[in-house]
Amino acid sequence: MNKTCISFKFEHTFLPPVYSLVFVIGLAGNIWGLKSLLRNWNKLGNVNVFVFNLGITDILYLLTLPFLVTYYVMGSKWIFGETFCKVTRFCFNLNLYGSIGFLTCISVYRYLAIVHPMKVKGRIRMTYSVVIAAMVWLLVSVQLLPDMFFTKRFRNTTGKCYDTTHKDYVEDYLKYSLGWTLTGFCIPLLITLGCYGHMIFTLCRRDTTDKILKERCLKLLFILVLLFSVCYIPFHVLKNLNLWSRVLSKQRICHGWFDRVFIAHQISRALVSLNSALNPLVYLHGNEGINAQLRRLVQQAAQTISSLLRWNRTAESLRQTED
């Protein structure tokens, strides 16, 4: 790629601290969330199958982040081999599109339970949820399979581990990415928006609707809007724009916007990684036990801080008295 068009220094300084922060917060949040989910499994209903799988996709991706931090700190020098490079990139995409898939399933289940409660009462069983979750894993894996055949490291030497592919194959990858964006992102987005749009409309029309139920739906809608608007939409738009700029650059066409798109794409990659740290919010939404635990932790932390402040004031008063 023509380096006079694009400066690659930004990703080396920006991504390592962001990935490190996401690793710490995301791993702690998901382990805590999964532990609480398993403890309260029987209280949460069939949707917990999708929440559990959502956590698994997050953890698989988070465990690859230390290797990516090392890669960018070393100036885009991948030292872990081509196979693990592909595995790392596969885990990122599996997390991204698995998360979108499971969030879509949660949205459909909520929609059916609120808009068509009598039709689905007693018909949605745990077995169905397990089968649907397995289908999500299968469909996402099949969708990602072609990505594994694109070159991630050129000529098997120590060097870049491409999140897409080498410039020699970028035209084909752009076509694949556009189709992938349509099936893996746009269609689930439309389904999710349709479910929540109809759900909110139904809740607002019903005079007898439980206020707590309405609040929960609005909270989950807010979480999904946050995930899609901050994490998913910018990433897909900028990823394809960046691929297009690489196609033009390969044709020796250089525009000033190439560098700006590249930097914006790196920021969107950091933002999309945040979905692993934000997904635990789904646990908070669906489990009152976790909410209670969180409130207790906050109260304990506040009490501890208050005690420390009182102790510091007492110690200061004693020092002043002695003086």
Decide if 116 is inside a domain: yes
DSSP state of 252: T
User: Residue 159 forms beta bridges with which residues?
Assistant: 78
Does residue 179 sit in the same domain as residue 234? yes
pLDDT at 313: 60
Does residue 142 sit in the same domain as residue 215? yes
Decide if 2 is inside a domain: no
Over the chain (323 residues), the average pLDDT of each successive run of 10 is: 57 88 91 82 75 92 94 88 90 94 90 81 80 95 92 68 88 94 94 87 70 72 82 94 90 82 90 87 60 48 55 57 57
- The 3-state secondary structure of 136-153 reads HHHHHHHHHHHHHHCCCC
Cβ neighbours for 17, distance < 8 A, ≥ 6 positions apart: none
pLDDT at 46: 77
Query: b/e for 193-219, b at 16 or more Cβ within 10 A?
Result: eebbeebeeebeeeeeeeeeebebbee
Does residue 280 sit in the same domain as residue 131? yes
Does residue 169 sit in the same domain as residue 310? no
Measure the CA–CA gap between 278 and 297, rounded to whole angstroms: 19
The total number of structural domains that make up the chain? 2
Q: What is the CA radius of gyration of the chain?
A: 23
pLDDT at 287: 53
Does residue 282 sit in the same domain as residue 307? no
Decide if 4 is inside a domain: no
Decide if 240 is inside a domain: yes
Does residue 102 sit in the same domain as residue 154? yes
Decide if 3 is inside a domain: no
Does residue 299 sit in the same domain as residue 240? no
Helix (H, G, I), strand (E, B) or coil at 46: coil
Q: Is the pTM of this model over 0.85?
A: no
- Which domain covers residue 323, as residue numbers? 292-323
Decide if 42 is inside a domain: yes
